[in-house]
């Protein structure tokens, strides 16, 4: 009888946690580049009935579940034109912009390409709305000097064609690889990235970002949130019903236990 209390309580707690994940997805439905999270559950314990512990039979009993983890799929969602020169949208799956905190130097990754021209000291850099500096293909801070910025945007609009990088006044732009541009990075296993808030992710220790040279970036556009309102509402209804059933199991178990205790009298 105590097992039914335990199983029901664990189920209710797990579905409360899942409702928190769904609520977070819905809260970010208007955030550019947001990727919804999915909750993954696992059985806490299964044991075989009428057999040994190691035997594999069709007759098993479980002892509840728990939310093991949440995972994110970094696929490209709908792009919306903005015509803003410092708005960039990633066209490829599993690609990210690399940004740096100017105070701590911490590196994080994001798919939100809504950038601006910001000042740090006497210099201007391409920054996020949170004040983090966008890094280029060499992992250096991307300067926002107007002539260079205009060349970079024009090059992106022409899909990185070599003739867009050439300049009659400066020989430094003869080589496409030397022109600073918005760096696009990828990971061999992006599902291991850890969410750190503000629509940003951090790589765990030992996980290195790789430059995605062939990745496409669309200028003057932003990637919309990946949250699907219809799907999330369907998940929410399913989760609420499962939560109520788990609580009903606890209530029923309590009623049976009270009846048994009264009969023992």
Q: Is the Cβ–Cβ distance between 95 and 79 less than 8 Å?
A: no
pLDDT recorded at residue 178 = 64
Q: Is the Cβ–Cβ distance between 98 and 107 less than 8 Å?
A: yes
pLDDT recorded at residue 21 = 93
Q: What backbone phi and psi angles, to 5 degrees, belong to 95?
A: -120, 155
pLDDT recorded at residue 233 = 95
pLDDT recorded at residue 161 = 47
pLDDT recorded at residue 180 = 82
Q: pLDDT in tens for each of the 265 residues of the chain?
A: 567 777 888 888 888 999 999 999 999 999 999 999 998 877 665 555 555 656 666 555 666 777 778 889 899 999 999 989 899 999 999 999 999 999 999 999 999 999 998 988 888 999 999 999 999 988 999 988 766 677 777 776 665 444 344 444 444 444 445 678 889 999 988 988 999 988 999 999 889 999 998 888 888 999 999 999 999 999 999 999 989 998 898 888 888 888 888 887 6
Q: The tokens 């130097």 sit on which residue?
A: 105
Q: Could you tell me the two tokens for 173?
A: 């732009």
Sequence-ordered list of residues with C-beta below 8 angstroms from that of 19, at least 6 positions apart, any chain: 236, 239, 240, 243
Backbone Cα Rg of the chain: 26
pLDDT recorded at residue 28 = 93
94 sits in the region (left: phi over 0; alpha: psi -120 to 50; else beta) called: left
């Amino acid at each position: 009888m105590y097992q039914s209390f335990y199983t029901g309580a664990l189920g209710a707690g797990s579905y409360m946690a899942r409702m928190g994940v769904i609520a977070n997805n819905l809260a970010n439905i208007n955030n550019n580049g947001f990727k919804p999270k999915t909750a993954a559950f696992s059985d806490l314990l299964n044991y075989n009935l009428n057999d040994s512990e190691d035997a594999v039979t069709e007759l098993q009993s479980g002892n509840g579940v728990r939310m093991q983890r949440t995972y994110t799929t970094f696929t490209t969602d709908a792009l919306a034109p903005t015509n803003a020169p410092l708005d960039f949208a990633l066209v490829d799956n599993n690609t990210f912009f690399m940004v740096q905190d100017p105070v701590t130097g911490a590196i994080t990754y994001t798919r939100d390409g809504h950038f601006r021209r910001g000042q740090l000291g006497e210099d201007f850099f391409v920054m996020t709305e949170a004040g983090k500096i966008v890094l280029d293909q060499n992992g250096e801070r991307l300067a926002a000097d107007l002539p260079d910025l205009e060349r970079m945007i024009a090059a992106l609009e022409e899909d990185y064609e070599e003739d867009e990088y050439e300049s009659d006044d400066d020989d430094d732009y003869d080589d496409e690889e030397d022109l600073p541009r918005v760096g696009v990075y990828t990971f061999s296993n992006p599902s291991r990235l850890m969410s750190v808030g503000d629509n940003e992710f951090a790589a765990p220790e030992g996980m290195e970002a790789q430059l995605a040279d062939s990745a496409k970036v669309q200028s003057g556009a932003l990637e919309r949130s990946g949250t699907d309102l219809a799907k999330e509402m369907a998940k929410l209804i399913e989760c609420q019903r499962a939560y109520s059933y788990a609580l009903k199991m606890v209530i029923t178990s309590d009623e049976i236990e009270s009846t048994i205790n009264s009969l023992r009298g």
